[in-house]
Amino acid sequence: MNIQDSLVSLSIPDIWWSLSGIPGIIKVKGHEVVDLVHRLSTNNCLQISDKLGKQTILTNEKGRILDIITLLQHKDHYLLLTTRDNEEVVIKWLKKYIIMEDITFSIITDEVDMITVHGSRSMDCISQLLHNQELHVPIHSLLSSTENPTRIAIRCMPIHEMQFLIIDSKGNGLIDIFTSSDIILFDKERFEIERILSGMGIYGNELYDAYNPLEAGLLHLIDFKKGCYIGQEVIARLDSYNKVQKRIMGFVSEHSIPLQSSLLHDNTEIGIVTSSHQLPNGSIGLAYIRNEYAFPDSTVLTIINQQQIPCTILSLPMRT
């Protein structure tokens, strides 16, 4: 069985949970926080309510990615979801642009337990866990438990089908509930396989200040009508003049492909590997490919130990 056939045979259940894909969490207090995030980031954040948050991108002056964040209102404060271990960087960036606003930040990542729940049956699981029968749950909605005041769920951009982040106070039994259930646990390795197959980039690999949101396929997190934000002129110019030169694609290979491997066409570098995972009969991964070479099912080469190794470029998501 070749690598592409093995991906087809890699089945996925209709509900699964994981301790991977967990964000950092910053507790933010201050009425001006919504306006601050709105004017610094790519998306329109002014419509945040106590039930519906917003995901957006912090970019630097060159329009490069600093982090993808999600802002949600919860009781008398806000929750700011970041990449885990990037909380201090986000706080420092936001504070840089605070002038007179009365806003306070506190990192609470280590004060709570978190898991992710995935699949077409995850909504039923959330309803039972929270005793909340809410029927309309858009992306980035926050649901509270009707019986447990410390337990919440946030519907996230999914790896596959549907995805929720569940947050609860430490010692409240959240992880025990799932470890004692019959819901399948995806460990770090299996989660990574699904992340790559979905084409979802992560901070430090596909998402950091070497790339801009348009290259990273994050057009859905940019509001071109909202006006100025940090990096707006660069991103608008790239979009208006069609100057985006590369994009994320998937790849498969019958060989192990190291991170940061150069991808070649006619001895010309046309891409770089940003995520790679070894499977028993080959590897899968993500790579930034120059647009003029980003054709699905085309073959590119990389050099490993002075040997030319072929890779097949695939559209994202690789799992259909």
- pLDDT digit string (tens) for 265-306? 999 999 999 999 999 889 999 999 999 999 999 999 999 999
How buried is residue 169: exposed, middle or buried, by Cβ count under 10 Å (0-12/13-18/19+)? middle
When pLDDT is cut at 50, 70 and 90, the band that residue 232 belongs to is very high
Across residues 87-109, what is the average pLDDT? 95
Closest by alpha carbon to 16, among 192, 186, 196, 190? 186
Segments making up each domain of the chain, as ranges: 16-192
Kindly tell me if the per-residue pLDDT of 192 is higher than 80: yes
Q: Which runs of E-coded beta strand occur in the chain? A: 16-18, 24-29, 54-59, 65-74, 77-82, 104-107, 112-118, 142-144, 152-156, 163-169, 184-185, 246-253, 262-265, 268-279, 282-290, 299-304, 307-314
* Domain 16-192, architecture per CATH: 2-Layer Sandwich (3.30)
Please answer whether residues 138 and 155 qualify as being in contact, where contact means their C-beta atoms are separated by less than 8 angstroms: yes
pLDDT for res 160: 84
The DSSP output letter for 291 is G
Crossing angle of helices 87-96 and 33-40, rounded to 10°: 90
Please answer whether residues 170 and 112 qualify as being in contact, where contact means their C-beta atoms are separated by less than 8 angstroms: yes
pLDDT for res 99: 87
Please answer whether residues 319 and 160 qualify as being in contact, where contact means their C-beta atoms are separated by less than 8 angstroms: yes
pLDDT-above-90 percentage for the chain: 88
pLDDT for res 222: 98
Across residues 6-27, what is the average pLDDT? 90
pLDDT for res 214: 97
pLDDT for res 30: 95
In the chain, the amino acid numbered 313 is I
pLDDT for res 6: 65
pLDDT for res 5: 67
Across residues 235-242, what is the average pLDDT? 94
pLDDT for res 136: 86
pLDDT for res 4: 64
pLDDT for res 243: 92
Report how far residue 93's alpha carbon sits from residue 77's, in angstroms, rounded to the nearest whole number.
20
Half-sphere exposure of 25 (CA within 13 A, CB side): 22
pLDDT for res 51: 86
Kindly tell me if the per-residue pLDDT of 87 is higher than 70: yes
Beta strand 16-18 with 184-185: parallel, antiparallel or unpaired?
parallel
pTM: 0.95
Closest by alpha carbon to 264, among 291, 289, 294, 300? 300
Question: Which residues does 173 contact at the CB level (< 8 Å), separation at least 6?
Answer: none
Kindly tell me if the per-residue pLDDT of 174 is higher than 60: yes
Across residues 155-175, what is the average pLDDT? 95
Average pLDDT, the chain: 94
Across residues 204-221, what is the average pLDDT? 97
When pLDDT is cut at 50, 70 and 90, the band that residue 1 belongs to is very low
